[in-house]
Chain A
Amino acid sequence: MTSLPARVLRAGRIALAAGAAVFLSGAIAKAQVAPPPGPTVEAMKKRGALNCGIDTGVPGFAFQDNKGVWHGIDIDYCRAIAAAVLGDPDKVKYTGTTAAARFTVLQAGEIDVLIRDSTLTFTRSTVLGLDEVAVNFYAGQGFLVRKSVGVTKAAELQGATICVITGATLELNIADFARSTGAKIGTLLFDKPEEAIAAMEAGRCDGYTDDSGSLAGMRSTLKNPDDWFVMPELISKEPLGLHARSGDPRWQKILFWIDNALKSAEEFGVTKANADQLKASSKDPFILRLLGAEGDTGKALGLDETWALRAIKVAGNYGEMYETHFGPKALNLPRGLNNLYTHGGLHYPLPIR
């Protein structure tokens, strides 16, 4: 029989060890990233909808038709994500965001992902606490000018006045361009594109500047589109894409690989029409993995095995989406940089394996 003080001492040591063990395992658990699919997806499932932040109205990216239905490549992305994660492309709640408010809305957690023709930049990544997940459109800042002024190059805009929308990087790009080339370009800053376009048509400024994709859309809404042309020259790089809040890497991985799946589908010839058939009959192991007939890509992401198949079946692969919104029958914007790397573009999907 040991003495009482010794027993107390031993009990104390055991308690201390147990406490330390509990504390340590707690700390380790905390240090580990949440298991797939992560808190954002859990919250979405509970809510039954994806909160998608989009533009308030730019043809090609996101705009409403006269029945109030949203169309555009950013909308297709929202729907594809909803289909992959929640199993239904219609389970999307759209939040139209202005250029000035978009990042705050995302930071505050009102939306799960921002797909709003927004440029991925250093400041947004480091200062705003956001993460750039993927690029869904390579644009550059261009100019829409009146044909009659007879200008073909941006450097010839010396002394011209350009209508600009505030709240984006457009003003800074013009100022940077002016400083680097020595051309003095005046700017007139508006809150919304409608006023800027109307002022431009009234002759208040010589042209309008925006991302190349949006310019083609804006030109189509003018009174006399034929009097205006979009200069081929671009003065900046504007990789537009998906922003997610920092802090949930699982969710970012899901977004990143959905984007990859849409582009891989184009690379391997998987379309909206043939996806189901290819899943059953294809002999290409890559296609079989992509469509969930082989492997367990879904499990690693915390989704089921046909996540990519559902995403592709919403609006087709990336190329089909582009064709729908920017192709010859729509805004007629050549694919250029937005082609796959195999066709001289920049989209290079990472291998799904």
Chain B
Amino acid sequence: MTSRGKALAWQTVAVLVTATIVIYFANNVVTNLAVRGIQFGFGFLWAKAGFDIPFHLAEWDVNFSYGRALWVAAINTLFASAICIVLASMLGLTLALMRLSGNLLAMGTSRALIEVIRNTPQLLQIVFFYFAVLQALPPMRQSVTIGTSVFLNVRGLYLPAASGTLWDWITGLSWAAVLIAALLWRRIGMQLPRLLVLPPVLILGLVVAGFTAQWDAPALKGFNFQGGVRVPPEILALALGVSIYTSAFIAENIRAAIIGIHKGQTEAAFSLGLTPGRTMALVILPQALRILIPPLTSQYLNIIKSTTLGAAIAYPEILQIFARTVLNQSGRAIEVMTLVLGVFLAINLVASAAMNAWNRKLALQGR
């Protein structure tokens, strides 16, 4: 038998063994469910949920179905993940640069922070931040007031809500225009720095939109502020907890990537007369990014999974809404857990694919 044939034979055996094991366990589950008189099926997703989701970005009402609850919770998870990824990256970069700065105070601070953060349990940190945030904020009847319609208290940050067709259109178009311009900046031959031009344009658009909108200001009625938009303290605590924890790991990844760039690059940049700041921004970081992306991908995937810890502090994400409330109400343990795993797998595969695409784009092109 040729070695190729042998390899093929082994692979066939491996596939058969795996398939047998999977079929055995699937059969085991089906039989045992039948023996215990437990039904299996996803029909329950269309049943009415009947419970409230305290914080939701997608539309939610108690009369919606369990399926919609999964969607609403998934959006909440994605929202928290996005915030945490941005915050953790910024914090991580800051910590890494402090650690490499050569300034004794900055180096010491960064090192101490990283060690403390990454050597204590993450759940503990999140709960700690939650109660720290709650303790720091004033009680509801002594809210911090900014202007006449922005309130900050232990229940959250209350902002006036804008509405109106014209407002929707102008804000939507401003965002779209600015994002497209930012992506195509070099291709349309703009020479001015993006960051100097685009933010003012966006702000101008939003201000114009603001004049056309109807504003619904929050006001204290009975137990709570009514009207407006509310940013709950839970999202703040979760964002702090997850991003600070992960930033310690990202900082070490970035530091490793920067140290991995040959010293000659820095010396060459200096000899060309670049300042240390520009050397870092224009020469070192772009090259370090190439080494950085694979470990950074893992950290981002960890962040997405870590948002489930929000269940401990009342942030309504997938685990809490689906694997707790829906599981208990419907009694469909296997189906619900399969769905939750599937959703996380899907989110993480997409995130991973995006990071890999970025990695391929940055990789050295066969020089």
Residues of A within 8 A of B (CB): 99-100, 103-104, 107, 123-124, 127-129, 149, 157-161, 163, 166-169, 171-172, 174-176, 178-179, 186-192, 195-196, 198-199, 202-204, 206, 245-247
Which residues of chain A are near B131, meaning CB under 8 Å?
198-199, 202
Q: A202-B131, A246-B37 are in contact. Are A159 and B222 (CB under 8 A)?
A: yes
Q: How many residues of B contact A (CB 8 A)?
A: 43
Give which listed residue, B36, B54, B130, contacts A187 with CB less than 8 A: B54
**Distance from A243 Cβ to chain B, minimum over Cβ atoms (Å):** 12
**Whole-angstrom distance from the CB of B331 to the nearest CB of chain A?**
4
A175 to B314, CA, bound (A): 17
Query: Among the listed A104, A157, A160, A166, which residue makes an inter-chain contact with B325, where contact means beta carbons less than 8 Å apart?
Result: A166
Instruction: Name 21 interchain pairs, CB-CB below 8 A, sorted by A.
Output: A107-B36, A107-B38, A129-B38, A149-B223, A158-B223, A160-B222, A161-B54, A166-B311, A166-B328, A169-B328, A174-B52, A178-B52, A187-B54, A188-B314, A189-B316, A189-B325, A195-B312, A198-B131, A199-B131, A199-B134, A246-B37
Q: How far is the CB of A118 from chain B (nearest CB, A)?
A: 11
List residues of chain A with CB within 8 A of the CB of B11. Answer: none
CA distance A144 to B320 in the complex (A): 23
Q: Which residues of B approach A to under 8 Å, CB–CB?
A: 35-39, 50-52, 54, 62, 127, 130-131, 134-135, 139-140, 154-155, 221-224, 226, 233-234, 311-314, 316, 320-321, 323-325, 327-333
Measured in the bound complex, the distance between the Cα atoms of B54 and A107 in whole Å is 32
Interface centre among B39, B222, B324 (most CB of A within 10 A): B324
With A123-B331, A167-B324 known as contacts, the answer to whether A247 contacts B52 (CB < 8 A) is no
Contact A204-B312, Cβ < 8 Å, known A129-B36, A171-B325: no
B67 to chain A, nearest CB (A): 17
Task: Provide the bound-state CA to CA distance between A245 and B38, in Å.
Answer: 11
Contact of A199 among B36, B314, B329 (CB under 8 A): B314
Contact at A195–B223, with CB atoms within 8 Å? no
Chain B: which residue is nearest A198 at the CB level? B131
Inter-chain CA distance A196–B329, complex, in Å, is 20
Known: A203-B140, A203-B154. A167 touches B223 (CB 8 A): no
Known contacts A191-B320, A204-B155; is-contact A127 B330 (Cβ 8 Å) = yes
Chain A residue at smallest Cβ distance from B233:
A204
